Structure 1
Amino acid sequence: MLILLAWNLVRLWSTAAAVVMSVFAAALPPIAVVIANWGEDH
């Protein structure tokens, strides 16, 4: 959803902002997994 918003709406104002949003959207799932598993035994 965030990538679609970036490339369909934000791109009209700033391509760089759309790229940053896309990178952020791609990085969210791995970060969420690390945070979700933070309290478990390593």
Structure 2
Amino acid sequence: MRRHQRVTASGVRRPQSERLRRRQRWYFSLMGLCLLLIVLAWNLVRLWSTTAAVAMTLVAAVIPPIAVVIANWGEDR
């Protein structure tokens, strides 16, 4: 079974450097969000609601594996 490849209007795939840049942007954005959630949860939100801080920490714990999957999506060729 052959996968379908995404092509541009000219029929040529985007350059590797452009795909790498896009994947890096997604990865660093998600990891930045993870750090932001942890810092806010541990330093600010816990003063008002421990439950909300724990929930934010749990969400932040799930983000790194998702970031890795998104950053490597479709690049197994």
TM over 0.5: yes
RMSD after superposition: 1.7
Which protein is bigger by CA-based radius of gyration?
A: 2
- What 5-or-longer segments of structure 1 have no aligned partner? none
Shift of 1:41: 3.5
Query: Aligned with 1:40: secondary structure?
Result: coil
- What 5-or-longer segments of structure 2 have no aligned partner? 1-34
Q: How many residues align?
A: 42
1:8 alignment partner in structure 2 = 43
CA distance in 2, matches of 1:7, 1:17: 10
CA distance in 1, matches of 2:70, 2:39: 25
- AA of the residue aligned to 1:3: I
- AA of the residue aligned to 2:47: L
The structure richer in helix per residue is 1
Normalising by structure 1, we get a TM-score of 0.72
* Structure 1 ranges of 4+ moved more than 4 A: none
Query: In the alignment, is residue 25 of structure 1 matched against residue 64 of structure 2?
Result: no
| Percent of residue pairs bearing the same amino acid type | 76
Shift of 1:26: 1.4
2:73 alignment partner in structure 1 = 38
